[in-house]
Structure 1
């Protein structure tokens, strides 16, 4: 897999406003938010797209969803969604698997 901006963020060579980090994942604020809360959740394992996920990666995928739930709860989001773009025609711009957590706070 080629080097991406997310690889550099994971190595902390590029600054990011990190909302969560653990052994398997990192979540940080998107620099071009599409909702009041817009986080990117990425695995530390380099996987190009969701289409490249293997059976052995299922615990990681489940973990990412749990991270999204925990972040939504901690940020007291009233409504939220997860978006994953797959492939260039699917809108994917960075070829490192990432989940967009888009959320709306209580008003």
Structure 2
């Protein structure tokens, strides 16, 4: 049986992804794969202030789309694969009836 993502959870995730910087962060981390990226790498990629980046990452962590782990002095971010897969399945289900 497929696990379903409740509408309220999906809505919170989509709301957080509705900001351009958060969407860019999420996409960058998805492309980084299982190893994720150090916060400094994400900052270099986006070119936004560290304080803004921290805020956006905290929003993504808060809805469970991103996790963080400390590796010495480095804070590494990764997409939470299970939640991301549920989001993909939710979007796929919602779009099944679209033509073409």
The structure that is helix-richer by fraction is 2
With structure 1 as the length reference, what TM-score do the two structures score?
A: 0.32
The structure that is strand-richer by fraction is 1
With structure 2 as the length reference, what TM-score do the two structures score?
A: 0.34
Larger radius of gyration between Structure 1 and Structure 2: 2
